Structure 1
């Protein structure tokens, strides 16, 4: 086998069986190896930011890393924004970045760049494969790193000659070790138990693995036993929510609302996250959102086992048999009339099918959605942890590939959608069950609000022209059609509901333009 074949074979043997690819000339041998290995699924993405975002979505639903194929330094640079989002969401991925052959690099060809320098700020592990004989070892280490808890970003640079040269003896692999989560310190558990037994108002802020599965159920038991409230940060990697699940409040985005929400708590207990902070700095507003005198206590560090921590905490509280409070089903009538954040949220609550996946990047229009869909059918919610826009359509693509039997609803503003709209083409090519909902207000509406929040006054005509996108107005129906995705526009709450409901009955992707 050559180096490229060894790399693909090792990826598959280590459990990485999908590659989101945007290949170039330097990666042709790797591309050939992807095509030759029937155990590896290759997914073509028309922009590297789609590839890295899709790998993020895959991890969030599978809890195992995908690989990407990126073309040299510029290709990696194109994918960095969604690598940033994935890193913030603790998603593991293995990025394979092509490079010129060693003999060619000395001539400084046009695409030469400092790939390691580009990769390091957003990677936990970076290595250059120096020889086809070491590729298997390097690849296995990359997968092991990406599979750690929390998930890690591993970047493996593959020079062209390493790719096409033949490997010698049988591949040598490092010793394998199952990914483990650290055990929380017992004294920390006892301290938090004392805090919760005090009866003073306490908020437990959950993140990462703690917002789903057994960890969330056990957190619900702690809340029921102590009266503490459960919450998440405004953005969370993935939450299991809806009827039958333990409900979690959402700390508001706006500073004034967030500080008002947190004012009543004397204690904040963090689980796989840090204390709440403002998303941006604003003149005359605090960065830390807790009230003066509120104490912050760490229950679970980011690399620890939150399910085990809640088991230990329940034992310390003598509450292991406590039944958690769960969300009741709320039958939401189909809304009628004009579209606004409340009617949109009610339409979602009525239309979401059981066990669907909601990827949310709606920013302004969708801010009511989480609170008003608490009693919807059980579903998973995915948010943008890193704040770099253009994450939703790629993440929805990866989530749909990870869970082909579940409908994915992707809620995204029109400004954000334009960053990675190429995702629609991949969804059509792969026949993915994704309903993309474009909230078309023809502007970067979030920036209009932030203009005021920053104390910059009222935007004048020239300033507004930089955050309005209506001249020319984007034709979303034509955009979707051009990439093979059927689309419809809606202008009322009832037609929005009907379009969503219809999408769940028809396989494959579709787009709904919500005209605001």
Structure 2
């Protein structure tokens, strides 16, 4: 058994079942090991940003890490944006990054780079394997370090990969159970909830499941606390049957207004809320300075257990939750705009669908419209780096092939990782992609106005930098060129029909929704 075979075998024994890859020369022995060791599915992606984004989407839905296979420092560099998103979302990934043979590094050949330095800002753990004998043990440690919410990057020199590994497969990694919340912190939360002060419970982190929403809603009813979710939790159960909770708005001014009267803030899985960006004369911290904040549970702790214990100590186990009813709107007619897309989505959304949301400004109305739709799960863009949606849909579909995946995608962000369509076609994934085609970076027009640059009104050169028309992109042709069935919709009726067709047939489909741009006057 060589080093690469030891690595692959240890990954499989440690529960890693899939590897998203874009290999090069240094990784050929890893590629060869795929035919020698059973159990690891390898999915080829045509750009490293698709590799890392797909690993993120997979890990969110599988609740365990995927592996990536990347070629040297430049390959890792191309993957960084979506590794950043995974890190911000507390999503586990094991990156395997090939490197030159250890004896070749001294020659500083064209692709030589400091891989550890490139990996460090987006990794919780970085390690370079020194010998073939150690690769199995190092692989198991990488999986353990990734755990349930970390980024582990293992650098694999080519000679370690091809060298003989007499130690063979290492014992599989075992993950510790989630840590418990201290009794002191729990007691302080009970005191805050019983104080009569205006209290907000903020849910967030890697996952907000349906039971979380029901339990938190019951606590809110019993104590008068306001229950909210952070703006972009990694994974969220929504729709009919879930507990009624609010969402902290994206716009800093709106979030500050919503938290204005809060005297106490209890954080469950969520981080203290801050603005996405700094703006003139707008605070960065969204809660009032006078607001007492308690980090009751982090993303790696058992939030559900904490909520149950709170209910018991508040003597509120018999308080019924306020549950969202099933309410489906009619299919829209007339002009195709963001609201019409949202209404059609709420009408057509299948039960237990997975919605991957990178609709940016155009997708905002979809979240609101689907609050009482069929029960579903929503994956958010956690780190703000665009080009995540299409790859994340790939990963989610591979993790849960029995469920329909719907990807809400802005036209600008789609072009960062458009290669993901090819992987969808190759793997015949059950994904419906909705492209919000307004021919603009509409989010940047909004931010231009909010920052006050040039009085909030772009001149002709600035406006050109925010406009992605001329020429208009033909997403039907782009999708069909990569093997994905596609259609264009220009009216609400056409969109409703196209969406129904895409949701009622298997395989990847893309709808190029030609929608009216938003204005920020």
TM-score per shorter chain, which class? over 0.9
Q: Offset at 1:331?
A: 2.1
Change (3 A) 1:178 1:169: closer
1:421 alignment partner in structure 2: 418
Is the counterpart of residue 36 in structure 1 residue 36 in structure 2? Answer: yes
Contact 2:136–2:168, Cα closer than 8 Å, also in 1? no
Is the counterpart of residue 89 in structure 1 residue 89 in structure 2? Answer: yes
Whole-angstrom CA distance in 1 between matches of 2:265 and 2:338: 30
TM-score, normalization by structure 1: 0.97
Q: How do residues 217-296 of structure 1 correspond to structure 2 at under 5 angstroms?
A: 217-296=214-293
Whole-angstrom CA distance in 1 between matches of 2:400 and 2:212: 22
Is the counterpart of residue 500 in structure 1 residue 469 in structure 2? Answer: no
Unaligned stretches of 5+ in structure 1?
none
Whole-angstrom CA distance in 1 between matches of 2:271 and 2:185: 15
Whole-angstrom CA distance in 2 between matches of 1:477 and 1:253: 31
1:311 alignment partner in structure 2: 308
Contact 2:6–2:168, Cα closer than 8 Å, also in 1? no
Residue of 336, 340, 347 corresponding to 1:339? 336
Whole-angstrom CA distance in 2 between matches of 1:390 and 1:207: 23
Whole-angstrom CA distance in 1 between matches of 2:227 and 2:385: 27
Could you list the per-position Cα deviations for residues 138-185 of structure 1 after superposition, in whole angstroms to 9, with x for gaps in the alignment? 00000111124xx110111111100111112444448x5433111111
Task: Name the SS of the counterpart of 1:487 in structure 2.
Answer: strand
Contact 2:239–2:324, Cα closer than 8 Å, also in 1? yes
Task: Name the SS of the counterpart of 1:474 in structure 2.
Answer: coil
Contact 2:59–2:93, Cα closer than 8 Å, also in 1? yes
Q: Offset at 1:314?
A: 1.2
TM-score, normalization by structure 2: 0.96
Change (3 A) 1:433 1:170: closer
Whole-angstrom CA distance in 2 between matches of 1:169 and 1:20: 26
Q: How do residues 131-150 of structure 1 correspond to structure 2 at under 5 angstroms?
A: 131-148=131-148
Whole-angstrom CA distance in 2 between matches of 1:507 and 1:179: 38
Contact 2:14–2:174, Cα closer than 8 Å, also in 1? no
Contact 1:210–1:216, Cα closer than 8 Å, also in 2? no
Q: How do residues 95-114 of structure 1 correspond to structure 2 at under 5 angstroms?
A: 95-114=95-114
Q: How do residues 12-91 of structure 1 correspond to structure 2 at under 5 angstroms?
A: 12-91=12-91
1:130 alignment partner in structure 2: 130
2:373 alignment partner in structure 1: 376
Task: Name the SS of the counterpart of 2:34 in structure 1.
Answer: helix
Whole-angstrom CA distance in 2 between matches of 1:422 and 1:172: 36
Change (3 A) 1:283 1:432: same
Q: Offset at 1:23?
A: 0.5
1:473 alignment partner in structure 2: 472
Whole-angstrom CA distance in 2 between matches of 1:114 and 1:18: 27
Whole-angstrom CA distance in 2 between matches of 1:469 and 1:177: 48
Q: Offset at 1:231?
A: 1.3
Residue of 147, 157, 160 corresponding to 1:159? 157
Q: Number of aligned pairs?
A: 513
CA RMSD in angstroms comes to 1.4
Contact 2:207–2:234, Cα closer than 8 Å, also in 1? no
Residue of 193, 196, 199 corresponding to 1:196? 193
Change (3 A) 1:7 1:170: closer
Q: How do residues 316-395 of structure 1 correspond to structure 2 at under 5 angstroms?
A: 316-395=313-392
Q: Offset at 1:302?
A: 3.2
Task: Name the SS of the counterpart of 1:98 in structure 2.
Answer: strand
Whole-angstrom CA distance in 2 between matches of 1:322 and 1:217: 11
Unaligned stretches of 5+ in structure 2?
516-521
Whole-angstrom CA distance in 2 between matches of 1:368 and 1:482: 30
Task: Name the SS of the counterpart of 2:202 in structure 1.
Answer: strand
Contact 1:329–1:376, Cα closer than 8 Å, also in 2? yes
Could you list the per-position Cα deviations for residues 418-460 of structure 1 after superposition, in whole angstroms to 9, with x for gaps in the alignment? 0000000000000001111110111111101111100012101
Change (3 A) 1:210 1:22: closer
Contact 2:213–2:244, Cα closer than 8 Å, also in 1? no
